[in-house]
Amino acid sequence: MVNFSLDGRIALVTGAAYGIGLAIAQALAEAGAKIVFNCSRRETVERGLKAYRELGIEAKGYVCDVTDEEAVRRMVDDIEATVGTIDILVNNAGIIKRIPMEQMSVEDFRRVVDVDLVAPYICAKAVIPGMIRKGHGKIINICSMMSELGRETVSAYAAAKGGLKMLTRNICSEYGEANIQCNGIGPGYIATEQTAPLRELQPDGSRHPFDQFIIAKTPAGRWGTPEDLMGPAVFLASDASNFVNGHILYVDGGILAYIGKQPK
């Protein structure tokens, strides 16, 4: 029988106070996992704790900047001491800066790479020793379609997410023999509060131009929802995926498979 149960497992989901991270953590909790999450600011952690309480989920939240290796080490040490050894790491925390490349400062470029690529490395490095001691582990990196495609104004984000795809494959290569599976989820365009302005109706009642563009490029004919990522996350966190390693599971409504509609 396929085993999707996460009973007794401890999951650290970074940046999981709302949106995609919250939905993934909710799915893992409903499958039986204990949830620990972090955010970089106290007010965001409090927002997350309130959301988990409303969902009936007991979660522990930390204020931790995932780009700070020592802060991550302290957080992981505390989790191991007070909750237990981490079985599942979901590297969800991320940022994007939509700036044309010739206008983007090197500091902004580095900040995106630091959060979206270096931080997952830091977090994985911190949890892997415990996973080795325990004899198993699951690492899920939240990649993107920008792991495969480019688009104007997202040079730093695409570079970081492409790197995260390859980090995923390298963790698989380096630690597969330790029974650690490292895979990625590549969301398509997801309807969250961050993307809400791109889906607002225009004054004349028409769809936002970007909304029209996404609907036309998606065979499913809609934006994804955070709930669309819940099943894939449980699969990659559970024993059902024990022989799946180094894979990026794109949850994009078919965008990457589709060349687009012929102009009329």
Catalytically active residues are 157
- Alpha carbon separation from 112 to 8, 12, 23, 86, 107 (Å, rounded): 34, 21, 23, 26, 9
Confirm if 241 and 185 have CB atoms less than 8 A apart.
no
What are the strands, taking DSSP E only, across 80-218? Answer: 88-91, 137-142, 180-187
- Please write down the long-range contacts of 76-84, taking CB distance under 8 Å and 24 or more positions apart: 76/12, 76/126, 76/127, 76/130, 79/10, 79/12, 79/36, 80/130, 83/10, 83/34, 83/36, 84/10, 84/34
Are 96 and 122 in contact by the 8 Å Cβ rule? The answer is no
**Matching residue, tokens 């204990």:** 34
Whole-angstrom Cα distance, residue 262 to residue 227? 31
Return all residues near 70 (Cβ < 8 A) that are at least 6 apart.
none
Q: What amino acid occupies position 127?
A: V
